[in-house]
Structure 1
Amino acid sequence: MSKELPQNNNNEEVDLLILFNYIGERLNRFFGLFKKIILFFYSTFIFSAKAVIKNIKLIVIVMVLAGVLGYVLERSRPVVYDSNMLVRTNFDTKYQLASNINYYNALISDKNYQALSEIFEISEDDLQHVERFAMAIGPETENERIVEYDRFLKSIDSIRAQDITYDEYLENRDIYSGNLFEITVESRKKDIFRSLETGINESFESKYSLEEKEKRERKLDIRKQSLEAQLNTIDSLQSVYIQVIQNESETTKTNLDLGEGLLLKQDKSQTKEFPLLEKRVKIVDLLRALEEERLEEDELFKVVSQFQLTGNLVSHWYNKYSLLFPLIAFGLLSIGYVARKFAVYVSNYEG
């Protein structure tokens, strides 16, 4: 036993040494790789800085010229204005609106200003300033998105609805998911937007939407007639009960003495005035809700906000030529420098 113990200790020490050597080797490799990465970025930075400093005059001249050219083109480009209009659609008029927006843009691309003039009832000269029409989802609150999600779940199978989360719904919904839309018009004339509203307001009507509106009206009328019939029945029953109570109050109660202290009295009729009153209140509430529903969606669309009298100046980053051209010029110079160095390296390479 005494001989085996030192041997076991020696084996454990050897295993620990091997483990420490393995860990040390891995750490050295890791730090070596890290050092190479740092040196690579450092060398790249020094190489780039050296190339820039060496060719600073050429770079400055080219970038200044590119900036001047971009500024001239930026100033010569027509100024564009835009304005937004918010609308809330009913009876699926959003599909007709989207179709008409695409149609208007197609007419602009074809320069068919005569057709546009017939639609918007303004001169062709004014319509030549219009750049494009666009349609997007309108601004929404979190509560409105939740209501839309709840409405979507009710429209699909209950088993399938369990697998669709709120985040998945928001990620996968398209422009037609809601009913509030933002219509944007871009034009080179800044005070034309209000003149376009009449034509846009006529973009919502379609045969399908009119049929859906008429169908909804007929359904509401049927429900209203049914509720009014129930209300008339309740009123008739209430009149009967009231008449019964009045008759009982006017009739003198007859007491018959049967002797030995026994009296025979006429019992009062059992009526149900209170349940009828409760039922009547519920029906009146349903009728009021019915009329509110009719008033809420009584039109094909509602204009939430109109176009502004004067549009806003459109400024996109890709139209900033005075900034983009110098950056593009610097990028082209860098590519040219690297390509030249690579060509020299390939020419001198001997394997």
Structure 2
Amino acid sequence: MSQEVPQGSQNEEVDLGHLFNMIGRLFDRVYNFFKSIFKSVLSALVYVLKAIVDNYIIIFGSMIIAAAVGYGLEKTRKDVYLSKMLVKPYFDSKFQLVANIDYYNALIGEKDNKQLMSIFDIDEESAKQIIEFEIHPGPENENDQIKQYDEFLRSIDSLRAQEVSFESFIENRSIYSGDVFEISVKSHKKDIFRSLEEGLNSTFSNAYSAKKMKKRDSILKIEKNRIIASLKEVDSLKKVYIDIKREESQSDRKSFSTQDGFTYIEQRTETKEYELIEKQIKLQQELSALEAQKVEEDEFFDTLSSFPEVGSKYVDIRERYSIIFPILIFVLLSFLYLSKKLIQYVKSYEV
């Protein structure tokens, strides 16, 4: 038995050595794999840099010429000015607002300057200078988004609500979800925007919104009459309680005894003046809230910020030709260079 122990230990040492060799070969393969990737990337980078260095005169010369041409086109192009306003529609007039913005853009596309002149009360030359109308959801914070999400969940059934996450709602909501909207206008004329504001304000008025506003006023009137009637009842009860208290204060408390020897004292009438006062205060608060709602929403919209007198100069990145043209030239030269190398490789390839 003493001879079997060293033999087992020797077998274990052989297994461990074999395991370490396998681990070492695995690390070598991983190292060589990343090394080959690094060498390939480095070789490709050097190859690209070599092509640029060998042809730098053609490349940079062409890019400079393209930049000069692009800059010249930018200078000959008419300036574009941008202005924005924020509005808050009421009574679902936002639907009419979005529809009218699309209508104005259609008129611009068809060059129907007479309609634009009639809508915005401007001259023909000013109408020709309008480029585009745009409408987007106005600025909002996370609390506004959460309120919109809660309103959306209440508008659908509970099973469907479980499937719609907050992130999914924010990503897929429509433009009509918000309460504040940003209207932007682009024009070649920098001081036309205040003239357009009056015409835009008229877009909120429509039959549906007017009907909804009238319905709201009728409901408020009914609620107001109910609250006033309740306040009158409270006042009547208060007068009754006051009269009872006055009569009791003027009369003495009476007592009488029975044959059994028990003495009874007449109790004061229990009134609820405190509860009546609380009720009166609550009704007055409700009445104030109704009045405030009618004052705050007495129009179809509120203008949160108007168009400034003069718009700011607007440059679209897609129209920065002094940057786009050199990039296009570089891409074109790279394509031609690769095509040339490919053709040379195909011609020199032997099966």
Same fold (TM over 0.5): yes
2:52 is matched by which residue type in structure 1?
Answer: V
- Is structure 2 residue 216 aligned with structure 1 residue 202? no
Q: CA 1:207 to 1:107, structure 2 compared with 1: closer, same or farther past 3 Å?
A: same
**Cα-to-partner distance string for 1:123-158 (whole Å, 9 max, x where unaligned):** 121010011000011111333333333333333334
The TM-score, its normalising length taken from structure 2, stands at 0.92
2:17 pairs with 1:14: no
Matches within 5 A, 1:224-303: 224-251=224-251, 266-303=266-303
Q: Aligned residues, how many?
A: 351
CA displacement 1:211-260 (0-9 Å, x = unmatched): 22222222222222222221111111112222222233344666678899
Distance 1:44 1:272, change over 3 A: same
- What's 1:310 paired with? 310
Shift of 1:16: 2.0
Partner of 2:32: 32
In 1, the alpha carbon distance for the partners of 2:346 and 2:192 equals 61
Q: What's 1:185 paired with?
A: 185
SS of the residue corresponding to residue 148 of structure 2 reads helix
Over the matched positions of the two proteins, sequence identity in percent amounts to 43
Q: 1:31 and 1:262, CA in 2 relative to 1: closer, same or farther beyond 3 A?
A: closer
Over 3 Å counting, the alpha-carbon distance change for 1:259 and 1:341 in structure 2 is: closer
Alignment map for 1:308-347 (pairs within 5 Å): 308-347=308-347
Residue of structure 2 equivalent to 1:133: 133
Note the 1:104-119 alignment, pairs <5 A.
104-119=104-119
- 1:19 Cα deviation after fit: 2.1
Given the superposition, is the C-alpha separation of residues 5 and 299 from structure 1 closer, same or farther in structure 2, using an over 3 Å criterion?
farther
**Cα displacement (A) at 1:176:** 1.7
Q: Specify the code of the residue in structure 1 equivalent to 2:224.
A: K
Paired AA for residue 209 in structure 2: S
Structure 1: give runs of 5+ residues left out of the alignment: none
Does 2:83 correspond to 1:83?
yes
SS at match of 2:204: coil
CA distance in 2, matches of 1:288, 1:226: 13
TM-score (norm 1): 0.92
Deviations 1:284-335 (A, max 9, x none): 1111122222223222110000001000000222211111111110110011
Say which is worse superposed, 101-110 or 58-67, in terms of deviation: 58-67
| AA in 2 matched with 1:314 | Y
CA shift in 2, pair 1:128/1:261, >3 Å: same
1:95-145, Cα deviation, whole Å (9 max, x unpaired): 111111111111111111111111111112101001100001111133333
Displacement of 1:11: 3.0
Supply the AA of the counterpart residue of 2:103.
Y
Q: Determine the structure 2 residue equivalent to 1:171.
A: 171
Kept in 1, the 8 Å contact 2:253–2:267? The answer is no
Give the CA deviation at 1:32: 1.3
CA deviation string 1:57-112 (max 9, x = no partner): 21122112111111111111111000000001112211111111111111111111
Q: Distance in 2 between matches of 1:239 and 1:54?
A: 105
CA distance in 2, matches of 1:76, 1:285: 64
Inter-CA distance 260–334: structure 2 relative to 1 (3 Å threshold): closer
Distance 2:261 2:291 in 1: 62
What is the deviation of 1:166? 3.5
SS in 2 for 1:152: helix
1:160, CA displacement in angstroms?
A: 4.3
Q: Residues 83 and 185 of structure 2 are in contact (CA less than 8 Å); yes or no, is this contact kept in structure 1? A: yes
Q: Which residue of 2 aligns with 1:47?
A: 47
* Structural RMSD (CA): 2.3
Worse-matched range after superposition: 236-245 or 159-168: 159-168
